[in-house]
Structure 1
Amino acid sequence: MSARPAPSSTNLQPRTGSPSPRLDEAEFKRRFLNQFQDEAYASLGVELAKIASAAWEVYKHSRKSPRTRKAGAGFEDANFDLSVDWIAARDAVLSAQRRHEDRNGPRRFLLINGSSRSEHTCPGEVSKSFRIVEIARAVLEDEPNVRVEILDLSRLASEYGRHIHPCKACFSTSAALCHWPCSCYPNYSLGQVHDWMNDIYPLWAEAHGIMIVTPVNWYHASSPLKLMIDRLVCADGGNPDPTTTHGKHPTEAKEIEMKGWNYPRHLKGRLFSVIVHGDTEGAEGVRRSLADWLKSMDLLPAGPLAEIDRYIGYWEPYATSHVSFEKDTALQEEVRNAARTLYEAVVARSQGEQISAGSALRQPRAK
């Protein structure tokens, strides 16, 4: 990107004015201790009070990243103190990128279950999205030299300590302030820990083909999927060197962007498939919005047969939706074709061929 005229310092001054979210000591400790409701903690009142006091000190002094080390070689400011959590996340992403680029390695696929439903929590029943993922997995694993990873986002609702914290929208202040991978978490002073994204970024980075399967939730993608989508903003234009902004200094980031930011596409060239299912309305819109999002990050559509929006048990009772899914053998074959198309596209791209994946497959439904 060409350099732009230098803006005035006033134009780059961050705008402020929203009310402070800071808590006083009493409210902080009340919230902190509220998580220890079970009677198993009843005899630990003294110990918990000491821990709450320590947590208050961390919060009061905003110690977001208590463990740091010098950035070292490879960063613009080698003497800047970087979070060791972020350094580990960066190293994992770089290792994943090397696996992605290894021409002698397996063809890598990431299958994502976007539903929050499972039998391991309140709904008491597996999701149709998960069953669709399993159909696709079976197709891909039947191919040679393939490795399949499953990202089951339902674990956000069923697994202890599993979180995807919301995006803080650093990119909207300046692209250079949004670090790749995300440096906003963990934030120990706010108790924003156990963030799953540091495990998820390498899964995307190493993949050659990605399939997203999601239900329609109120005309939109599911909330677990949307959390992940928002946190992937750093993969599309994010800054791989936090020392250039010395952590989170918005004015420095604005100055860098205005000098000319190159918006690196960290996931460019991966192939994708999208499968969206609903019961009444919204499937086509969600499928289109997901495909548009992926294309905006310079990921490539695997082919027409790899993008599906369907209704399962249209306006039928929810109680029998799995029965409707089991009867819809055409949909199941469409899922298999989507997986086959994704596989063909990945093979074609690895061989430097033009992608026309799925053109020879027979569609299970005729108009």
Structure 2
Amino acid sequence: MKTPEPRKGMPSPKLTRAEFTERYLSRFADPAFAPMSAELDKIAGIAWEAYRDHRKAPVTRKAGPGYADPNYDLAVDWINARAMVDEAKARFESGDGPLKVLLINGSSRSEHTCPGEMSKSYRLVQMAERVLSKAGIETTILDLSRLSSEFGRDIHPCKACFSTAAALCHWPCSCYPNYSLGQVHDWMNDIYPMWVEAHGVFIVTPVNWYQVSSPMKLMMDRLVCADGGNPDPSLTQGKDAKLAKAEELKGWDYPRHLQGRIFSVVVHGDVEGAENVRRSVSDWLKFMKFTPAGPDAEIDRYIGYWEPYATSHDSLDKDTDMQAEVRIAAEQLARAIKARRGGELVPTYEGLESPRQK
């Protein structure tokens, strides 16, 4: 099959130097920076050159043995991220290491910034964490509210490389950091190993406008590389779209980097959408070959249904049934990952390859 040319035709986002400089310096609006204006102008000039010259990854190293092109210049940031993923994979595959669960708080709300109050999602995560710890499971809490409350904590949007060609989407993601565009502080290089080393995942998310929360969606989209992503950027010479198309058309083996994990999901809303959101999260995980922990491990509920938001925490205090359901979902997850390690829970998809790949 002839490799198609990548389609072009969208307007350029390129900034003029004046536009770039104005935007770059806008982060220093605090009058306290005024005495340093000359120095900031010099820094802005260097930043402009990096932007103009597309210096996405200014620090690189030869890929070396084991890559399709050992002489390809890999970003050191990506090399370090890959090493963290490989180390996490070794921990996951170790038969004698501790069983681990990644607990995810999907809410962006916390008392440490504008909302002035902790989220109900975080409280539910804490309930699950206590059950898992009591069961002897090692836990890590990924608190996505940090995106809205912590300096320099970002998850940049997925650029949808997979939609151009599967091989163009690298595992772990190589799109960030992009220093020339100022797309730095990307949290995903820390988050990928959390997912890789976990035997189970426990997700709690609120409903935001019939969808998961903004932080949850950012993370979900950026995990596309974990399901079919290319572990060798040198194979596509970085982001060469046509070369990536050619690689996919040769026959892509679609490596599933996270398959085999087990999950529980808790979705809570206040007026509408909880069931649909729970289905979307569960379906996403199942597509990546995750297994539900049990019949009570996928929950969608309403807390303070059509009641004032001001009293929603009080509503959760009173809803002891939901609290019990969250604890049951956590207990089922603990039992399931123990059964998986003991050989009592066998993935039913092993040896059965789908005739369709994404």
TM tier, smaller: over 0.9
- Aligned counterparts of 2:153 and 2:193: Cα–Cα separation in 1: 17
Aligned to 2:57, which of 49, 55, 65? 65
1:328 has 2:345 as partner: no
Task: Give the counterpart of 2:268 among 273, 277, 283.
Answer: 277
CA distance in 2, matches of 1:355, 1:136: 24
Q: CA deviation at 1:39?
A: 1.8
SS in 2 for 1:228: helix
CA deviation after TM superposition for structure 1 residue 40, in Å: 1.7
* 1:205 and 2:196 aligned: yes
Offset from partner CA, 1:230-280 (integer Å, 9 cap, x none): 000000000000010010001110001001001000000000110000000
| 2-structure distance, mates of 1:40, 1:151 | 35
| SS of 1:52 mapped into structure 2 | helix
TM-score, with length taken from structure 1: 0.94
Partner of 1:149: 140
Instruction: Provide the rounded CA distance (Å) in 2 between the counterparts of 1:339 and 1:256.
Output: 42
Q: Name the residue aligned to 2:100.
A: 108
Partner of 1:304: 295
1:137 and 2:139 are equivalent in the alignment: no
Is residue 350 from structure 1 mapped to residue 341 from structure 2 by the alignment?
Answer: yes
**Is the aligned partner of 1:82 residue 2:78?**
no
- Name 1:31's counterpart in structure 2: 23
Query: In structure 1, which of residues 218, 239, 243 is the aligned counterpart of residue 209 of structure 2?
Result: 218
Report the equivalent of 1:267: 258
CA distance in 2 between partners of 1:143 and 1:32 (Å): 50
| SS in structure 1 of the partner of residue 64 of structure 2 | coil
What is the distance in 2 between the residues matched to 1:337 and 1:141?
14
- CA shift for structure 1 position 73: 1.1
Q: Could you say which residue in structure 2 is the equivalent of 1:4?
A: none
Could you list the per-position Cα deviations for residues 39-92 of structure 1 after superposition, in whole angstroms to 9, with x for gaps in the alignment? 221110100000000000000000000000000111111111000000000000
**Matched residue of 1:148: which SS?**
strand
Identity of aligned residues (%): 66
Letter aligned with residue 44 of structure 2 = A
Which stretches in structure 2 are left out of the alignment for 5+ residues?
348-358
TM-superposed CA distance for 1:354, in Å, is: 3.0
The aligned length equals: 347
Deviation at 1:304, TM superposition (A): 1.6
Which residue of structure 2 aligns with residue 41 of structure 1?
A: 33
Paired position in structure 2 for 1:165: 156
Q: Which amino acid aligns with 1:292?
A: D
Larger mean Cα displacement after TM superposition, 310-319 or 347-356? 347-356
Distance in 2, matches of 1:113 and 1:45, equals: 41
Alpha-carbon displacement from aligned partner over 1:11-40 (angstroms, at most 9, x marks no partner): x10000000000000000000000001122
**Equivalent position amino acid for 1:293 in 2:** W
Deviations 1:86-106 (A, max 9, x none): 000000000000000111110
Q: 1:147: how far off? A: 1.1
Matched, 1:290 2:281: yes
Work out whether residues 302 and 355 of structure 1, in 8 Å CA contact, stay in contact via their aligned partners in 2. no
What amino acid maps onto 2:291 in structure 1?
A: L
User: SS at the partner of 2:345?
Assistant: coil
Distance 1:352 1:80, change over 3 A: same
SS at match of 2:50: helix
State how far apart, in whole Å, the 2-side matches of 1:299 and 1:307 are: 13
User: Is contact 1:345–1:355 with CA below 8 Å preserved after alignment?
Assistant: no
Indicate which of 2, 15, 35 corresponds to 1:8.
2
Partner of 2:351: none
Secondary structure at 1:260's aligned position in 2? coil
CA distance in 1, matches of 2:283, 2:65: 38
Distance in 2 (alpha carbons) for counterparts of 1:135 and 1:346: 18
2:5 counterpart of 1:20: no
Q: Aligned partners of 2:70 and 2:88: how far apart in 1?
A: 24
Corresponding residue number in structure 2 for 1:98: 90
Deviation per residue, 1:125-149 (Å, 9 max, x gap): 00000000000001111122x2100
Amino acid at match of 1:49: D
Give the match's secondary structure for 1:304. Answer: coil
Task: Return 5+ residue gaps in structure 1 as ranges.
Answer: 1-6, 357-367
Q: Does 1:119 align with 2:124?
A: no
Q: TM-score, structure 2 length as denominator?
A: 0.96
CA distance in 2, matches of 1:267, 1:58: 36
DSSP-derived class of the 1:305 partner: coil
